[in-house]
Structure 1
Amino acid sequence: MQAPATGPGKPRIVRCPACGGDSVYGETNPFRPFCSERCKSMDFGAWASESFRVPDPTPPDDQPFGDPKEQ
């Protein structure tokens, strides 16, 4: 999907990552890319409570790296 063309004086509208609503992506919106302080706070809270996680590909210390047949 292509972003709509924007011109001078026409704000870029993006989808809020929290609620999916329209959000102004510009200097007039201090919460960008979120649509509101509430959505920004909800997202921050989810990261702080570890609801969002980035997978760690590192195996536990008791498992060897690579193919076990090679060892």
Structure 2
Amino acid sequence: MSCPICGGETEQKFRPFCSRRCADIDLAKWLNGSYSVPSQREEDLEVEDDTQDFTPKRPH
């Protein structure tokens, strides 16, 4: 089994990672929202549409 972060050989102590460093990198990705699953719920799609175009429009 290889480490999902760096591809190195896993260490039993940190399984499925190879080191504490890779385990911490994975935890940081979870905490900052890098890992996410897109929602298909209607109310989430409406919120996404509202926040998608936030740039102010300038008159020509």
TM range (shorter): 0.5 to 0.7
Instruction: Report the equivalent of 2:10.
Output: 23
TM-score normalized with structure 1 length: 0.55
Higher percent of residues as helix: 2
Gaps of 5+ in 2: 47-60
Gaps of 5+ in 1: 1-13, 64-71
> Which contiguous aligned blocks of 4+ residues in structure 1 show a shift greater than 6 angstroms?
none
- C-alpha root-mean-square deviation of aligned residues, in Å? 2.0
1:52 alignment partner, one of 17, 35, 59: 35
Distance 1:22 1:53 in 2: 26
What is the percent sequence identity of the aligned residues?
Answer: 41
**Computing the radius of gyration over CA atoms, which structure comes out larger, 1 or 2?**
1
- Tell me by how many angstroms 1:46 deviates: 0.5
TM-score normalized with structure 2 length: 0.64
Higher percent of residues as strand: 1
Number of residue pairs matched by the alignment: 46
